[in-house]
Amino acid sequence: MPPVLTKDNRRYLPAHLLKRVENALGAFEVVTTDNGLSLLIGDDGGARPLRDPILYARCWDAAKTSRLAGKAPQYEDPNHKTFRLASGLEKRRIVAVGDLHGDYESTLSVLRLARVVDGEGKWAGGSNTIFVQTGDILDRGPDSIQLLELFPRLVREANAVGGRVIQIMGNHEVMNLIGDWRYVSEDEKGFSNAAMRRAAFSTLGRYGNRLSRLPVVHQIGDTVFAHGGITPEWSNVNLHKINKHATDKLHEFIAAEEADKPIPLPTVFGPDGPTWYRGYAQGPEPRVCALLKSALAIMGAKRMVVGHTMQRDGGILSRCKGQFFVIDVGISRALQNYQAALEILPGGIVNAIYPYGVISMIKRKAYEGQP
């Protein structure tokens, strides 16, 4: 691999190589620490050494980047010597936002409310903010394409200043990848025909290449994130194994469909998988809280944050004595047009951010009334 280029005290890959790496990795940034170590920062929130000739990176398809990159771990393991956690992620301010469903203006509005973007829609979280979006940016509203373009840009802008943007795969991302377009808005802008959409959402397409490799679960400190929920069956001390399994199975399923040799949808994307599960949000608390406690113990976490199950009153739901939060409040104007974000601060302080103010979630079980 050619040496990186130095400019303005940062290091950049040569332009002809940038596109190849971006296609394989999604959004990323190459930066240099004070001691001269080059790091590649991926959109999963971790940082890895960038060495010549092998690129150590979050690289699901490393061969696309370099023939030598195959010698690096295909999936990053936090215990592997090449993995470097971004400094003190769990000590930063975490902001989580739920389902956005094709509404660009409402998305920018809630991100401004949470101080994640500025008035021009650019990253405003600085180096102290980690923004987690828990899936379902697609469908229902007309602006899915704008949101698909927004998130990689925010990833790059955040990485450039030391912040982080983590995007989780939701069931609607999966549906679009496998050709289930039942919930695509009739007013959606961006594709003139089905063939164009199918190509863009293919595993090699402009959007499908990145979407098909998004994590289904993610952990920052003692908080785990998913779209629907993580049962003990899908819990694992090393959550990267779950994401690897999900990515592999999704690509196998799509390849079988394209070869006209369909196979059953993988169970990781079934009703009890992380992208679809609703039990914690809807089941009787005595039963589901015991299940949740078991899953959290396996993952070494204290709380779980999900979207997926829309709260009709527009308020963030807390269950199981503050161990489980549902942050889908129907942000899209195609649904309810409510605004809310969850804020997790160092020390375990959890707040709900609404247009009218901030409410401590430690002192309440669920929001009552209209925001």
pTM of the model: 0.80
- The token duo for 136 is 């379902």
Question: In the prediction, which pLDDT does 32 show?
Answer: 52
Question: In the prediction, which pLDDT does 238 show?
Answer: 74
Please measure the distance between the N-terminal and C-terminal CA atoms of the chain and give it in whole angstroms: 54
Residue type, 118: D
Question: In the prediction, which pLDDT does 237 show?
Answer: 65
φ, ψ of residue 9 in degrees (nearest 5): 65, 15
Q: Give the contacts of 76 (CB within 8 A, at least 6 positions apart).
A: 42, 44, 46, 48, 57, 58, 82, 83, 240
Per-residue pLDDT tens for 167-186? 999 999 999 999 999 999 99
User: What torsion, rounded to 10 degrees, do the Cα atoms 128, 221, 175, 173 define?
Assistant: 10
Domains of the chain, first to last: 5-85 (no CATH), 89-360 (3.60.21.10)
Q: State the SS3 of 215-236.
A: CCEEEECCEEEECCCCCHHHCC
What is the DSSP annotation of 277-321?
A: --HHHHS-HHHHHHHHHHHHHHHT-SEEEE-SS--TTSS-EEETT
By DSSP bridging, strand 303-306 and strand 223-226 are: parallel
2 and 66 Cβ atoms separated by less than 8 Å: no
Q: What is the pLDDT along the chain (371 residues), one digit of tens a residue?
A: 333 333 333 334 444 444 444 433 344 455 555 555 555 555 444 445 554 433 433 333 333 444 433 443 333 445 554 444 544 566 789 999 999 999 999 999 999 999 999 999 999 999 889 999 999 999 999 999 999 999 999 988 887 787 889 999 999 999 999 999 999 999 998 888 999 999 999 999 999 999 999 999 998 889 999 999 999 999 976 787 888 899 999 999 999 999 999 999 999 999 999 999 999 999 999 999 999 999 999 999 999 999 999 999 999 999 999 999 999 999 999 999 999 999 999 988 999 999 999 999 974 344 333 33
DSSP state of 165: E
Per-residue pLDDT tens for 304-321? 999 999 999 999 999 999
Question: In the prediction, which pLDDT does 298 show?
Answer: 94
Name the E strands within the chain. 5-7, 10-12, 28-32, 38-42, 46-49, 84-85, 93-97, 129-133, 164-167, 217-220, 223-226, 303-306, 317-319, 324-326, 341-345, 349-354, 357-360
Closest to 123 (Cα-Cα) out of 165, 94, 83, 84: 165
Distance CA 329, CA 341 (A): 9
- The verdict on whether omega for the bond into residue 53 sits within 30 degrees of 0, i.e. cis, is yes
